[in-house]
Chain A
């Protein structure tokens, strides 16, 4: 139902044009859960926020591609038309629940605001304040916030981080959107709270049939919720597939690197976590070849000179890597055993 085709997004900054997204293809099925993973600065947040066009319009340029919601290109809509999509069809949760709620507005009013904006009664009239209030209380109960009625009049600073993220989820789910985009929803939270928030999102997905795009740099955090995964690097999707494809049959050296950097159960305390040496490329001057070439252990001359095309490995699984080329002399990543010290059980 949501399809991103060859999306290209650039920001015009003082240091030049930053090509944050350079041709991304993503697909989210009805009721699906797509995880977009990658480290900071790889374009995953930019891609997600492009769906709602939340970027500062004065510096952002959508240079190409389409974002199709049921066949309608969102990039072609006017700002007024986009306002009807935001919060209604597609809603969003942000990374830092400490700063993403308005500090001078009660939590109740912030939830009611989105309801009053979009919800209609059966007769097609705007709902009343009392109706919005009732619905907001229901929403707070749904995200399991204790004392929902009383909490309606509280301000964000009176909540803990996890509770604020629950409020954000309640707000995002207010108009029963078809797609929920969660931009690093657990990054700023304690590990125990992270699990609760992921659980809550899973529940929303099951009970309301909402499709979810979850963005994260933590493979472990998304493993339990995602159905499909797209790995982004340097403004491109380097590998995508089902959870099984990515976790058990990964073909891209970067995907392998990300998985190796997740702590494993049974790992000894004195074992260091695997890391990927180096930094992501500067997207003001993106590399001509594979963006990962500089940091890749398997880098060949061709990787530096030419960008690899997407190779379709199965119906669900595709990967951009020269190692998959039939003429490549080196073995594929999937045929290399995972190193012992970071090994899976």
Chain B
């Protein structure tokens, strides 16, 4: 068991290293530099000064070696497009906001998705089942910015407007932008979590239907166990296996991939830095975020693998 964990951690480190290397060379393969992206007004001399200042006039392999050495020292460098702020500083201020949004969305999405899937499976062909299908189709096929707009309109403007008019107050029940207190988090977390709800509800439903037909469920019934206990103790736990697998990928996706929601709701998260850094050829920022994200995603997958051992005794490796 200990060897297994050590092996998995080593493998995770190698993965991150590979991601870092590929991104580094691909980033430099894109035409342009951080200081010349097309419509430049800078003189050739100033450009040269800047390039040598950041070491960009050096051969690529030297830049690479220097970059890796710095990363190993924990230095992500200085962002080239955000007023000389260090990359670590930007990540440290913006990531907590992204993570906050992501975790809220994930908690909502996981709980709602799993419960909806269980209900749908237990009442197959009944209204709850159809509801879960509708939710899943909406969650998967409607883009989040459309959902976001819809809820901003209905709840943020419609309901809150009605509330203000009826109670003669300035209190905004569902604010449609910024990230300040709990009520600000409601709509964006809900919209971001919808994808998770949809995916998990479908998966959990299928998985539950499979488990419900298993012999051990019949055994449990033959023991006189109440229906509720059968569902929770025998069915749900066994049905969770495939869900846990997908959850690893979802954690990474939800926490890091909220650029659209963040810009739509004016939330000061990491998303905009990643997109902007790529268009601005901000090498250090892109690289820093890539390494950071890959550590995060690889880490969450590692966590899932270890969680498997807790949930499924058959995966536990003896020794």
Contact between chains at B218 and A157 (CB < 8 Å): no
Beta-carbon contact of B219 and A91 below 8 Å: no
Flag if B221 contacts A86 (CB, 8 Å).
yes
Interface 0/1 of B292-315, CB less than 8 Å to A: 000000000000000000011110
Cβ B219 vs Cβ A117 within 8 A: no
Taking the complex as formed, is A149 at the interface, i.e. its CB lies under 8 A from any CB of chain B?
Answer: no
Q: Which residue of B lies closest to A97 (CB)?
A: B215
Residues of B within 8 A of A168 (CB): 219
> Among the listed stretches B107-115, B137-145, B233-241, which one makes contact with chain A, having 4 or more residues with CB under 8 Å of it?
B233-241
Which one, A79, A103, A113, A157, contacts B225 given CB within 8 A? A113
- Fill in one digit per residue for B194-224: 1 if any A CB lies within 8 Å of its CB, else 0: 0000000000000000000011101111111
Residues in A neighbouring B223, C-beta threshold 8 A: 86-87, 91, 113-114, 117, 171
Q: Is A102 an interface residue (CB 8 A)?
A: yes
Size range of the interface on B?
A: 20 to 34
In the complex, the answer to whether B234 meets A102 with C-beta atoms within 8 Å is yes
> Would A104 and B226 be within 8 Å (CB), given that A86-B221, A94-B219, A157-B314 are in contact?
no
Whether A103 and B218, one on each chain, are in contact in the complex, defined by CB atoms closer than 8 angstroms, is: no
Residues A94 and B234 in contact, CB atoms below 8 Å apart: no
Check B222 against A52 for contact (C-beta < 8 Å): yes
Report chain A residues within 8 Å CB of B224. 82-88, 114, 117-118
Q: Does A279 have its Cβ within 8 Å of any Cβ on chain B?
A: no
Is residue A100 within 8 Å, beta carbon to beta carbon, of the partner chain? yes
Closest to B214 in A: A99
Considering only residues 108-144 of chain A, those with a C-beta below 8 Å from chain B are: 113-114, 117-118
List residues of chain B with CB within 8 A of the CB of A246. Answer: none
Assuming the contacts A102-B234, A113-B225, asked whether A94 and B313 have C-beta atoms less than 8 A apart, the reply is: no
| A313 at interface by CB-CB < 8 Å | no
A155 at the interface (CB under 8 A from B): yes
Question: Is there a chain B Cβ closer than 8 Å to A105's Cβ?
Answer: yes
- Residue in A54, A79, A103, A155 whose CB lies within 8 Å of B222: A54
- Write out the residue numbers on chain B whose beta carbons fall within 8 Å of the beta carbon of A104: 237-238, 311-313
A96 within 8 A of B: yes
The CA-CA distance from A104 to B237 in the complex, in Å, is 8
Residue of B nearest to A83 (CB): B224
Q: Could you tell me the distance between the alpha carbons of A83 and B225 in the complex, rounded to whole angstroms?
A: 7
In Å, the complex CA distance between A86 and B225 comes to: 8
In-complex Cβ contact of B218 among A54, A85, A87 (8 A): A54
- Min Cβ gap A58→B in Å is 8
Whether the pair B314, A92 counts as a contact (CB closer than 8 A) is no
Q: Does A225 contact B (CB under 8 A)?
A: no
Chain B residues, Cβ within 8 Å of A114: 223-225
Q: A91-B223, A117-B223 are known contacts; what are 11 more A-B pairs with Cβ within 8 Å?
A: A52-B221, A54-B218, A86-B222, A87-B223, A94-B222, A101-B219, A102-B238, A103-B216, A103-B312, A117-B225, A155-B314
20 A–B contacts from the bound complex (CB under 8 Å): A52-B222, A54-B221, A83-B224, A86-B223, A87-B222, A91-B223, A92-B222, A99-B214, A99-B215, A101-B219, A102-B220, A103-B238, A103-B313, A103-B314, A104-B311, A104-B312, A113-B223, A157-B314, A168-B219, A171-B219
- Pick the 9 closest A-B CB pairs, nearest first: A87-B224, A86-B224, A87-B223, A99-B215, A155-B313, A92-B222, A100-B215, A114-B223, A102-B216
